[in-house]
Amino acid sequence: MRVAVVEDDLSIVNLLKRVLIKEGFSVREFSTAERFLSAVFDYGEKFDAVILDLMLPGINGVEACRFLRERGSDVPVLMLTALSEEDDKVKGLDSGADDYLTKPFGIRELLARLRALLRRRGKVSFTPEPFGIVITDVGALVDGKEVKLTGRERELLKVLLENRGKVVSKEELLQKVWKGEAVSKRVVDVHVKHLRDKIGDRIETVWGVGYRLVERTPE
Amino acid sequence: MRVAVVEDDLSIVNLLKRVLIKEGFSVREFSTAERFLSAVFDYGEKFDAVILDLMLPGINGVEACRFLRERGSDVPVLMLTALSEEDDKVKGLDSGADDYLTKPFGIRELLARLRALLRRRGKVSFTPEPFGIVITDVGALVDGKEVKLTGRERELLKVLLENRGKVVSKEELLQKVWKGEAVSKRVVDVHVKHLRDKIGDRIETVWGVGYRLVERTPE
DNA sequence: ATAACATCTTAACAGTTCCTTAAGGTTTTT
DNA sequence: AAAAACCTTAAGGAACTGTTAAGATGTTAT
């Protein structure tokens, strides 16, 4: 799975390279949009996705994206936007980009959004975000879709996700989510139920022990 | 998308050229109204929009605009006026200009107004301002429409816009808009309500946390 | 200077969302 | 089959937000 990273900030490039390679993508980096476009149109390089910075020297992200679309490319584009204080800098999102992310961003959210784009284009990401779940500030991204969660639900999912694949006992959940508040053990059940309703049957009951986050609903 | 810039101040011409070209417009510059009108009526040049300075040597912006309209042209005209010429604004609009902007102006505001004009004429703006909102000195442009805001409302919207798509906690809003003044937390709610009344339901409540500016009302 | 107006904050009440508990039903274990 | 653990649903209350209005303060017009 080839990903082009078009970005002039070296620290971001290096971060992305490290993470993406670790996740099994092959990464090609470009410091300017011109070089990237040249690679695509002059040398016929193909990419499964493009991570494109909005502010670039010379041709910027918006123009580059428009250029791609005008020439019929439907490669998924994830736009990175910085929120600069300067008002005279032109910021904009081209309608041709598929998604955007504001710097500074969380790596896991970036990966989740990238995979969601690939999935939408019918390309299966072979190293999916563990369990396709990322905690966000409003709840969670589940298979690229935003799901709103309440405070408790979010915390509960967070603990389960941190221990994904492993069984978490009710005692541990009570301790980590309810911080030793004096509540009935049954609250866990209720919130698990609500979580299941929202994110689908990904929480497995391990009888007599606790709960476990699983990849998919096992039959 | 062709834009004519009729302006004798070179520094402004160069700024506009740079920005507009970067935004994908093709720009034709004229230092006098005579040359511009000649291009239109003698040589039949067509433009999708005209940015017209009010004070020009020879024929001025008002006269040029009236000339255009008298001859049946309905090209969108954005008039540039200097602060000292405030009184002439009315004249400018009377002559058939579609919108005006006072120098010195913000580039983002100019682009937003230009796009609003194009949109009104059924020409699609291909690089929409993110979330269709631009902060101006009197309030904000929302989908190209001028909305007057009070000081607090404006600051509040500004902070939300800077964090668009992300949740901003009430604490952060209090800190950034109210700079640590000793006020009740509820002032935020009240101003959010007022903002919603003015700009439409674009502010989403994240229960127990804060608010978030969203693209459209998610019903 | 005074009146008219705009803005900001607080307060109060109404409405909503969230959390917990309780109760009855279901499944699993013994 | 009985007991234990879990599922499901609903209700009450707590916490939070929405809405409105009034008073305080500042600003502009007469």
pLDDT at B59 over 90: yes
**Under 8 Å between Cβ of B113 and B78:** yes
Q: CB contact, 8 Å: A57 with chain B?
A: no
- Give yes or no for B167 touching A (CB within 8 A): yes
Measured between alpha carbons, how far is B201 from B211 in angstroms, rounded to an integer?
12
Per-residue confidence at A130, pLDDT binned at 50, 70, 90? low
| Interface mutation target, options B126, B163, B169, chain A, most CBs of A under 10 Å | B126
Q: Which residues of A touch B23 (CB under 8 A)?
A: 62, 90, 92
Query: Rounded to whole angstroms, how far apart are CA atoms B10 and A108?
Result: 48
> Coil, helix or strand for A56?
coil
A100 to chain B: closest CA residue: B165
- The side-by-side arrangement of strands in the sheet containing A2-6 is A26-30, A2-6, A49-53, A77-82, A99-103
Q: How many CA atoms lie within 13 A of A44 on its CB side?
A: 0
CA distance B138 to B105: 12
CA–C1' gap, B157 and C2, in angstroms: 36
Residue B192's nearest nucleotide, by CA–C1', is D18
The letter for the amino acid at B8 is D
Q: Does the structure show a pLDDT above 90 at A155?
A: yes
Torsion angle in degrees (nearest 10) through CA of B105, B111, B114, B118: -170
Question: What is the tens place of the pLDDT at every residue in A180-218?
Answer: 888 999 999 999 999 999 999 999 999 999 999 997 544
Calpha distance A74→A125 (Å, rounded): 17
Question: Shortest CA distance to A156 belongs to which of A184, A128, A129, A196?
Answer: A196
Q: In angstroms, what separates the C-alpha of B131 from chain A's closest C-alpha?
A: 9
Tell me the C-alpha distance between B164 and B3, whole Å. 30
| B40: its two tokens | 């239109």
Q: To the nearest whole percent, how much of chain B has pLDDT over 70?
A: 87
Please tell me the distance from the alpha carbon of residue B187 to that of residue B180, in angstroms, as a whole number: 13
Q: How far apart are CA B50 and CA B41, in angstroms?
A: 14
pLDDT tens, residue by residue, B73-89: 889 999 988 766 556 55
A-facing residues of B in 120-159 (CB < 8 A) are 126-130
What's the Cα-to-Cα distance from B19 to each of B14, B22, B64, rounded to whole Å?
9, 5, 24
Q: Look at residue B99 and give its three-state secondary structure.
A: strand
Per residue in A30-55, pLDDT (tens digit) is 888 888 887 787 666 788 899 998 88
Mean pLDDT, chain A, rounded, equals: 81
Per the structure block, which two tokens stand in for B196? Answer: 């919603």
What pLDDT is stored for residue B190 in this prediction?
Answer: 97
Instruction: List Cβ<8 Å contacts ≥24 apart for B86-93.
Output: B88/B54, B88/B62, B91/B62, B92/B54, B92/B61, B92/B62, B92/B65
Backbone CA torsion sign across B69, B73, B74, B80: negative
Tell me the pLDDT band of B132, cut-offs 50, 70 and 90.
confident
Distances in Å between the Cα of B100 and the Cα atoms of A132, B7, B17, B18, B54 are: 50, 14, 18, 20, 9
Rounded to a whole number, what is the distance in angstroms from the first to the last CA of chain B?
35
pLDDT of B32 strictly over 80: yes
Query: Side chain identity at A121, as an amino acid letter?
Result: R
Q: Which residues from the 160-199 window of protein chain A have CB within 7 angstroms of nucleic acid chain D?
A: 170, 185-186, 189-190, 192-193, 196
Q: Answer whether 0.75 is exceeded by the pTM.
A: no
- Token pair in block for residue A70: 């005008």
For residue B149, give the DSSP letter.
-
Contact between B80 and B53 (Cβ < 8 Å) = yes
Backbone angles phi, psi at A76, to 5 degrees: -65, 130
- Residue B36: is it exposed, middle or buried by C-beta count within 10 angstroms (0-12/13-18/19+)? buried
The type of residue at A88 is D
Tell me the chain A residues in contact with residue B162 when contact means C-beta distances shorter than 8 Å: 83
- The Cα–Cα gap between B152 and B172 comes to 14
